[in-house]
């Protein structure tokens, strides 16, 4: 499987699924704003339409994004850079901290369990009492059983 060296310890491979976490600048709660959330979601869809990333699930917390995605084209760094750059331009100003954290999902990991863990972040942060009360998450193509 071909890998592209992105930085020490980071590899990128088309077809792999990654859990990406990226944080807002100074941990500002930018995603309390509905319009800012819509701009990020629109870019996730644009990356899919461009054949770069297929979203498995995401949750936008007030000051960060958890994104479970399958890389379909390009590199992981370039795809995240596009997401962050486009949303920053659309929202206006400096939105994101420069780096991001990623975890390549191993073939022996339970993707459904990982997706459930990701979208349950608002519950663990005590932002809501039930996941249905939190509006800024979605999952695509996951079968429950």
Per-residue pLDDT at 140: 77
Residue 145 has pLDDT above 50, yes or no: no
Find out whether 20 and 100 touch, Cβ atoms under 8 Å. Answer: yes
Per-residue pLDDT at 107: 86
Average pLDDT over residues 107-121: 92
Per-residue pLDDT at 8: 52
What is d(CA 27, CA 36) in angstroms, rounded to the nearest whole number? Answer: 15
Per-residue pLDDT at 142: 52
- 79: tokens are 């795809």
Average pLDDT over residues 120-126: 96
Question: What are the sequence ranges of the domains in the chain?
Answer: 4-128
Per-residue pLDDT at 38: 97
What is d(CA 104, CA 97) in angstroms, rounded to the nearest whole number? Answer: 21
Residue 119 has pLDDT above 60, yes or no: yes
Residue 115 has pLDDT above 50, yes or no: yes
- Residues 2-39 have pLDDT tens digits of 434 344 556 799 999 999 999 999 999 999 999 999 99
**String of DSSP letters for 32-97:** GSHHHHHHHHHHHHHHHHTTSEEEEEEEEETTEEEEEEEE-SS-HHHHHHHHHHHHHHHH-S--B-
Per CATH, the number for 4-128 is 3.30.70.1290
pTM of the model: 0.89
- Phi, psi for 101 (deg, rounded to 5): -105, 140
- Residues 54-97 have pLDDT tens digits of 999 999 999 999 999 999 999 999 999 999 999 999 999 899 99
């Amino acid at each position: 499987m071909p890998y592209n060296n992105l930085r020490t310890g980071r590899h990128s491979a088309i077809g792999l699924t990654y859990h990406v976490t990226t944080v807002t600048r100074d941990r500002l709660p930018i995603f309390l704003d509905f319009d800012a959330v819509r701009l990020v979601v629109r870019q996730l869809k644009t990356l899919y339409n461009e054949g770069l990333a297929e979203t498995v699930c995401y949750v936008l917390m007030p000051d960060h994004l958890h994104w479970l995605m399958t890389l379909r084209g390009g590199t992981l760094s370039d795809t995240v850079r596009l997401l962050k750059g486009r949303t920053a331009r659309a929202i206006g100003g400096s939105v994101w901290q420069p780096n991001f954290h990623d975890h390549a999902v191993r073939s022996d990991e339970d993707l459904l369990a990982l997706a459930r863990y990701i979208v349950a972040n608002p519950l663990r942060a005590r932002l809501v009492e039930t996941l249905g009360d939190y509006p800024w998450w979605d999952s695509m193509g996951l079968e429950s059983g």
